[in-house]
Amino acid sequence: MLYHLLYPLKENFIGFNLLSYITFRSAAAAILALFITFLVGPKIIKWLKKKERGETIRNDGPSTHLQKEGTPTMGGIIILIAVLVPVLLFAKLNNVFIQLMIGGTLWMGLVGYIDDYLKVVRKYPQGLIGRYKLMGQVIWGLVVGLTITFATEYTGVDGYGDVHWYISVPFFKNLMINLGIFYLPMVVFVITATSNAVNLTDGLDGLAIGLMGIAALAWAGMSYVTGRTDFSSYLNVIYIKGAGELTIYCSALIGACLGFLWFNSHPADVFMGDTGALALGGAMGTLAVVLKRELLLPLVAGVFVAETLSVMLQVGSYKWRGKRIFKMAPLHHHFELCGWAEEKVVTRFWITGIILALLTLSTFKVR
């Protein structure tokens, strides 16, 4: 919004020319997002406590978690505000990628909010019925897939012509694969799987939000390189016109994650709930799809993938063999029951996330 209002006035005030730089607007978005969390966070937490929007802790989990009973949840509202306001102010709102990120954050946040509302306020133990939650994720996946199908930004890319239904392959110079009719199902799967993966990981204080901040930093780097002809040409990666604007969204996300971590660090004053987890997961899945980095998603989000696989393996093993592989799933609970303190699990998972983010960025040069 500020870009559209103030940048045309650069002839009258040279300072407005700063708005032409993605780096400046990204830094401003990150700082503003951090400030907003500090500003609205205490007020929203106070409101959640007043409304008794507290988390219910499962009895079959680690006993140390029982003391968290009643901690305010639905704190994802803080994250949504902190991300969307800077993006609306500093990004180019006529950019199709920014429109997708705003739409996806709001849509998946709404699905998560309904789930939280049914669990916390209406006291439905399962919250939103699984098939309705899945329907919301599938709908957004189709919206993203169809938007990419008709977006002109994917026309005439790097000698491939139209790359709407292509995905790029890591470790190879400008190698892309056309998925054809399988592209739309792939998009739906990526967004659905990623949003659920973040939701499963959100089980320890600061775990999911810290990992999202680390991943957002990697996505910011990938967005910036993908949106610049000089950098993408030098690194032999796909160039997508307008993708650089996603750096602003990722920067706002980094600021929001850091700010929310202030309140979500152990012992947490608030949980993000499905409102935040589904929105963040949906956003990361959407980023991977629009940047054509779907094959890098399992690497940059490796901890989220491991958490999801642990649940799938646990359920499958118990169903077919009558035995459990882990003491408890998701994976972070397994390590807790092995004797690791909650803070140690979170810190070590963060370290793993940092290593994976660095490895992801290194794939841009290792070709």
Alpha helices in the chain (DSSP H): 2-6, 22-50, 76-90, 96-120, 130-150, 183-201, 207-226, 229-235, 246-264, 273-290, 297-300, 302-321, 331-337, 342-362
Alpha helices in 227-301 (DSSP H): 229-235, 246-264, 273-290, 297-300
- The answer to whether residues 75 and 44 touch, using CB atoms and an 8 Å cutoff, is yes
Q: What is the mean pLDDT of residues 309-318?
A: 94
- The answer to whether residues 316 and 44 touch, using CB atoms and an 8 Å cutoff, is no
Per-residue pLDDT band for 13 (boundaries 50, 70, 90) equals confident
- The answer to whether residues 87 and 287 touch, using CB atoms and an 8 Å cutoff, is no
The model's pLDDT over 251-283, given as tens digits with 9 standing for 90+, comes to 999 999 999 999 999 999 999 999 999 999 999
The answer, yes or no, to whether the previous bond of 125 is cis (omega within 30 of 0) is no
- The answer to whether residues 71 and 55 touch, using CB atoms and an 8 Å cutoff, is yes
- The answer to whether residues 104 and 144 touch, using CB atoms and an 8 Å cutoff, is yes
pLDDT recorded at residue 197: 97
- The answer to whether residues 300 and 309 touch, using CB atoms and an 8 Å cutoff, is no
Beta strand pairing status for 176-178 and 166-168? antiparallel
Q: Which two tokens stand for residue 81?
A: 């505000």
Q: What is the mean pLDDT of residues 227-241?
A: 89
The model's pLDDT over 56-94, given as tens digits with 9 standing for 90+, comes to 776 666 766 778 888 999 999 999 999 999 999 999 999
Q: How far is CA 42 from CA 47, 214, 259, 269, 279, in A?
A: 9, 24, 11, 9, 21
Side chain identity, residue 31: I
* pTM listed for this prediction: 0.95
pLDDT recorded at residue 148: 94
pLDDT recorded at residue 367: 72
Range picked from 56-70, 161-175, 199-213 for highest mean pLDDT: 199-213
| Angle value at C-alpha 221, between 243 and 289, nearest 5 degrees | 50
Residues in the chain: 367
**Mean pLDDT, the chain, as a whole number?**
92
Per-residue pLDDT band for 21 (boundaries 50, 70, 90) equals very high
Side chain identity, residue 108: M
Phi, psi of 177 (to 5 degrees): -120, 130
Q: Which residue has the higher pLDDT, 204 or 3?
A: 204
Q: What is the mean pLDDT of residues 226-250?
A: 92
Q: Which two tokens stand for residue 85?
A: 């306001």
Percent of the chain with pLDDT over 70: 96
Residue identified by tokens 């079959």 is 60
